[in-house]
Amino acid sequence: MPITRTFLDWSRPALVALCDYLFDPVAEHGTLDLSDHLMVVPGGRAGRRLQELLVSMADERSIILVPPEIVTLGAVPERLYLQQKPFADDLTQHLAWIRALREFDRDRLQPFFPNLPDDDSFLAWKPFAEILANLHRELAADNLDFGDVISRGSQLDNFPEVARWNILREIQENYLTLLDELNIWDRQTARLFAIKYEECRTDRNIMLVGTVDMNQTTRQMLDQVADDVESIVFAPEKFSPRFDEHGCLKPDAWRYVLSEIKDEQIRIVGKPGDQADEVLRTLGDLNGRYAGEDIVVGVPDESLVPVVEQRLESAGLRSRYGVGRTIKHSLAAKLLLQLADWLDEETVVAFQNLLRHPAVEQYLQREQIDGDWLTELDRYRNKHLPVKLNAHWLGKEEDRQTIEDVHEALSSLLKDWKHQQRLLPEWSPALVQILSKLFDGRELSAAERKDWSLITDAIRSALQKFADLPETLVPAVSGADVLRLLHSEIANTEIPPESHPDAIELLGWLELPWDDAPVLVVTGMNEGFVPSSQNGDLFLPNQLRQILDLEDNQRRAARDAYALSVMAASRAEFTLIAGQMSANNDPLVPSRFLFGDSPELNVSRTLKFFREESTRPSSVPGRLRAGREIAEFSPPRLESYATQLESMRVTEFRDYIQCPYRYFLKHHLRLKSVISSAEELDGGAFGNVLHEVLERFGRHEEIRSQTNPEPIRAFLNHELNHLMEAFYGTDPEPAIRIQTERMRARLSKFAEWQAGWSAEGWRIEHVEEEVRREHEAEFEVDGTPILLRGRIDRIDIHQSSGEVMVFDYKTSDSGKTPEKTHYRKQKGEWIDLQLPLYRHLVKSLGIQADVELAYINLPKKLDDVKHQPANWDADLLASADEKAREIVRAIRENIFWPPSDDGGLMQEFAEICLETTVLEPDDEEGMER
């Protein structure tokens, strides 16, 4: 006897109609005993909803319900035969595929798999195993093996892939043999075996609920128990010829949607955000006639989910996405990956990130390690530029004590993890141990507490999987790999979304026909999503799928046309929204189903979609509104921070000239950013090292008066090496080593210049002289003195003429002259006053004579390593003093406003100045592309 087909009209929601069908014959207070029923639904969500409806209806009608077993279509085969061997789980299957691949003749594989890994790293092989496992699964579902592809494919004209499938067939045979030897099998094989030997049996009444698209394996198994199968088809009886004997769709008969979709139910908008806005408008149009739980938003294009969720939330509406989140985003999962990253290379960046993990942070606190380790690590990193963190600590101990403690604490946690491979299950105790240490005793937030059992269950079952692996397949893996593997095993575990009576539910396309909410708004009604289609493929292009009777474009389209027909017929409020553009600006076309089923409708809909100006209002209900006509965000005024000005460093004047506002932030509030991703010395650090070397040189009484460059060079080299080692260790990154050589080259040229300079009769008198209070250099402004401070790099005196030369070392690449850096000739403006003000500072060192001012440049162009005197006359220098007085006056009057457009060298304050325009030094000549 064939399967019994029962048609339930689709004018009511499918599952509601089914429940009525089941309950109607039962009297009030009677019993509906479905314990002998196996109800087969198309998907998990339909199953849950069916159960909900059954229980609620029993409740409403006061009927005792002995519930049926409800399973999804994918699970029904296992209810029809007795499983004779254990099943290999996915991990085992992947390992078996890997084995089959690796044991295959590599030369023969080469043309088809030229990129197989050279080593035996499990994670490197896994992608290939996944490809084969998926292919095997899909073909077996339709009762095909790789060999069948060759025999059926030959029906095509010139099937060009025989050689490839022959290889695949052999690999598949090896794979199955391997499972056989292990006395396990995969689900697909077990099913085929049951069909072949007609082993399918049931003692249940099997009710197929809306399973309109079934694979061959399932059909054949059901055929063996057909007497006990009833297929419930949701469609008007008159459409029965459009369904086959299994109650499945005849693809030819479902090229169009068979329920009417009206023009006004269709909305065509622009980008994903516009689709979400249209959802809000549609909901607004309902005028409060429905509660949240009466509304479902369909999202065939999963990428729209966050956009829709966000807009709903923004409009104050709660939402609930059926699929929910996955464990991937949980703290535990993130910790696994971060630990793996840290184990990989022990980089500072990985370590810093690990420290930002809340579980790690709390662990350290529990271990009584106190301190501002993130900031200290920032400082340590900026100062010593380590790429990796290991035992070789640099700098002063007191500057790094906390981070050493933190590092020690975390390293000891992972001490058994480094540099070793173990068999996969052998890692389990270590995994349990580290997770216990980091999570036990931790205060869980409410959100975490809710998901915690799911997460621990997922981890436990993954560990169980590792333990259950057949011995001969167990791979050896590194610590980092086992963490990544565990992550991939648990990552996709779904966390069911919270339920709430006000929540608007978001559902994927396949679930929509089986829902019964009266309001349905479907987004993403675009070709490619509805109907989905696939043209071309790595293994199974559409034409091959057709020959093999696999799911092809026609079947997909039929399934989606049917689904849309069910929805359109059964909902009180039904709206379809299509976009014109995807999130990454790819053009989208409305679904072919929206164009209708006749040439006339095609014409009118085309005109509507592409020509009509939208008549929808542009406003979006529920969208946040701006509170002001013009926002008045501006950098904070600084008056409240102003203090008495007593002294100034001579270098500060430049900053004030550049921007009084930023000057205040930098010199009075001493704001500073610690953020840096530098991996080599920046201008400041580079200059500091050179200055330090040159200072040591200048203080060395014997060397500094040498007229032979060699001893000078040797001394500088020695000091450079010493300093670099102290700062950056004995094995710094190559970039730093290269920089050291560049400094060496500059210093070498300096040695030559210095020797010649000495030979001319100049001697160094003062070096890095910090002019402090004890040698006050007062500078009068409006009758009130201001204390000038500064550090003079070097003062030389000529042995015979007594001339005094005040030097500042400059180590920037450019090697500009003092004139260029201090004075803008065209505009007659001082932009820096450092050298001119040195004239006043030197007085406190007892130098009363006129002095020459100069740079000693050590730029990138080595020929330019030499001194550069400033040629300013007395009048000009006097104007510099006047400029300085102006600045002192302004500061005394607390003039720091407004910030200038261009922060110059003080870029780090851009955010405080709310620099909203791209201000980086631009490339005037370079054509922007």
- Contacts (CB under 8 A) with other proteins, residues 343-362: 352-354, 356-358, 361
Shortest Cβ distance from residue 108 to other proteins (Å)?
Answer: 14
Shortest Cβ distance from residue 929 to other proteins (Å)?
Answer: 5
- Binding of residue 44 to other proteins (CB under 8 A): no
Shortest Cβ distance from residue 259 to other proteins (Å)?
Answer: 18
Footprint of other proteins on 470-489 (CB under 8 A):
470-471
- Cβ burial 389-412 (10 Å sphere, 16+ → b, else e): beeebbeeeeebebbbbbbebbbe
Tokens coding 675: 């953020």
What is the Cβ-side half-sphere exposure of residue 916, based on CA atoms within 13 angstroms?
4
**Segment contacting other proteins by CB under 8 A, of 314-322, 404-412, 474-482, 650-658:** 314-322
What pairs with residue 520 in β-bridges? 296, 574
- Binding of residue 640 to other proteins (CB under 8 A): no
Q: How far apart are CA 206 and CA 225, in angstroms?
A: 9
Q: How far apart are CA 570 and CA 296, in angstroms?
A: 13
- Binding of residue 922 to other proteins (CB under 8 A): yes
Footprint of other proteins on 170-199 (CB under 8 A):
183
- Binding of residue 737 to other proteins (CB under 8 A): yes
- Binding of residue 742 to other proteins (CB under 8 A): yes
Footprint of other proteins on 99-158 (CB under 8 A):
111-115, 127-128, 130-131, 156, 158
Residue with tokens 């500078």: 779
Shortest Cβ distance from residue 897 to other proteins (Å)?
Answer: 14
- Binding of residue 874 to other proteins (CB under 8 A): no
**Interacting residue with other proteins among 54, 135, 233, 483 (CB under 8 A):** 54
**Segment contacting other proteins by CB under 8 A, of 221-229, 718-726, 842-850, 859-867:** 859-867
Footprint of other proteins on 263-292 (CB under 8 A):
273, 280, 283-284, 287-292
Footprint of other proteins on 789-828 (CB under 8 A):
812-813, 826-827
**Segment contacting other proteins by CB under 8 A, of 90-98, 501-509, 706-714, 751-759:** 501-509
Shortest Cβ distance from residue 180 to other proteins (Å)?
Answer: 14
Shortest Cβ distance from residue 778 to other proteins (Å)?
Answer: 31
Footprint of other proteins on 545-584 (CB under 8 A):
553, 557, 580-581, 583
At how many degrees (to 10) do helices 14-23 and 44-61 cross? Answer: 40
Q: How far apart are CA 589 and CA 667, in angstroms?
A: 59
| Alpha-carbon distances of 855 from 28, 816, 912, rounded to whole Å | 103, 9, 34
- Binding of residue 839 to other proteins (CB under 8 A): no
**Interacting residue with other proteins among 1, 27, 631, 849 (CB under 8 A):** 631
- Binding of residue 67 to other proteins (CB under 8 A): yes
- Binding of residue 753 to other proteins (CB under 8 A): no
Footprint of other proteins on 416-445 (CB under 8 A):
428, 431-433, 435-436, 439-440, 444-445
Shortest Cβ distance from residue 746 to other proteins (Å)?
Answer: 6
What string of H, E and C letters represents the secondary structure of 617-682? CCCCCCCCCCCCCCCCCCCCCCHHHCCCCCEEECCHHHHHHHCHHHHHHHHHCCCCCCCCCCCCCC
**Interacting residue with other proteins among 674, 726, 759, 905 (CB under 8 A):** 674
**Segment contacting other proteins by CB under 8 A, of 257-265, 675-683, 801-809, 885-893:** 675-683
- Binding of residue 898 to other proteins (CB under 8 A): no
Nearer to other proteins, 470 or 785 (CB): 470
**Interacting residue with other proteins among 542, 647, 705, 879 (CB under 8 A):** 542
**Interacting residue with other proteins among 331, 424, 648, 659 (CB under 8 A):** 331
Q: How far apart are CA 234 and CA 209, in angstroms?
A: 8
Which residues fall within 8 angstroms of residue 601, CB to CB, at 6 or more apart?
595
Q: How many chain residues bind other proteins (CB under 8 A)?
A: 216
**Segment contacting other proteins by CB under 8 A, of 210-218, 371-379, 767-775, 843-851:** 371-379
- Least Cα distance to 336 among 485, 492, 123, 483 occurs for 483
**Interacting residue with other proteins among 205, 456, 651, 707 (CB under 8 A):** 456
- Least Cα distance to 43 among 263, 163, 213 occurs for 213
What pairs with residue 855 in β-bridges? 808, 868
Residue with tokens 């929540």: 503
**Segment contacting other proteins by CB under 8 A, of 221-229, 327-335, 474-482, 767-775:** 327-335
Sign of CA dihedral 731, 735, 736, 741: positive
**Interacting residue with other proteins among 25, 627, 783, 802 (CB under 8 A):** 627
Pairing of strands 295-298, 519-522: parallel
Tokens coding 638: 């600084």
Shortest Cβ distance from residue 681 to other proteins (Å)?
Answer: 7
- Least Cα distance to 367 among 440, 276, 455 occurs for 440
Q: Are 809 and 835 in contact (CB under 8 A)?
A: no
| Alpha-carbon distances of 512 from 21, 75, 175, 297, rounded to whole Å | 21, 21, 38, 9
Shortest Cβ distance from residue 304 to other proteins (Å)?
Answer: 11
Footprint of other proteins on 715-734 (CB under 8 A):
733-734
Bond into 497 cis (ω within 30): no
Nearer to other proteins, 246 or 320 (CB): 320
Nearer to other proteins, 346 or 679 (CB): 679
- Phi and psi dihedrals of 676, rounded to 5? -160, 140
- Binding of residue 379 to other proteins (CB under 8 A): yes
Shortest Cβ distance from residue 24 to other proteins (Å)?
Answer: 19
Instruction: Please give the DSSP secondary-structure letter assigned to residue 684.
Output: H
Concatenating the DSSP letter of every residue in 373-428 gives HHHHHHHHHHHH--SB-SS---S-HHHHHHHHHHHHHHHHHTTTTTT-EEEGGGGH
- Binding of residue 928 to other proteins (CB under 8 A): yes
CA torsion angle 331 333 337 339 (round to 10) = 60
- Binding of residue 659 to other proteins (CB under 8 A): no
Footprint of other proteins on 521-540 (CB under 8 A):
527-528, 531, 533, 535-538
- Binding of residue 35 to other proteins (CB under 8 A): yes
Shortest Cβ distance from residue 118 to other proteins (Å)?
Answer: 11
Q: End-to-end CA distance of the chain: give it in Å, rounded.
A: 72
**Interacting residue with other proteins among 397, 628, 646, 849 (CB under 8 A):** 628
Shortest Cβ distance from residue 518 to other proteins (Å)?
Answer: 11
Q: How far apart are CA 94 and CA 135, in angstroms?
A: 12
Q: Are 370 and 359 in contact (CB under 8 A)?
A: no
Residue 314 CB: number of other CB atoms within 10 A? Answer: 14
Element (H, E) at 770: strand 762-771
**Interacting residue with other proteins among 572, 603, 714, 890 (CB under 8 A):** 603
Tokens coding 33: 């005993």
Shortest Cβ distance from residue 116 to other proteins (Å)?
Answer: 10
Nearer to other proteins, 376 or 769 (CB): 376
Which residues fall within 8 angstroms of residue 483, CB to CB, at 6 or more apart?
336, 337, 339, 340, 343, 431
Shortest Cβ distance from residue 387 to other proteins (Å)?
Answer: 7
- Binding of residue 84 to other proteins (CB under 8 A): yes
- Binding of residue 783 to other proteins (CB under 8 A): no
Shortest Cβ distance from residue 181 to other proteins (Å)?
Answer: 12
Concatenating the DSSP letter of every residue in 593-606 gives GGG-SSHHHHHHHH
Footprint of other proteins on 208-247 (CB under 8 A):
none
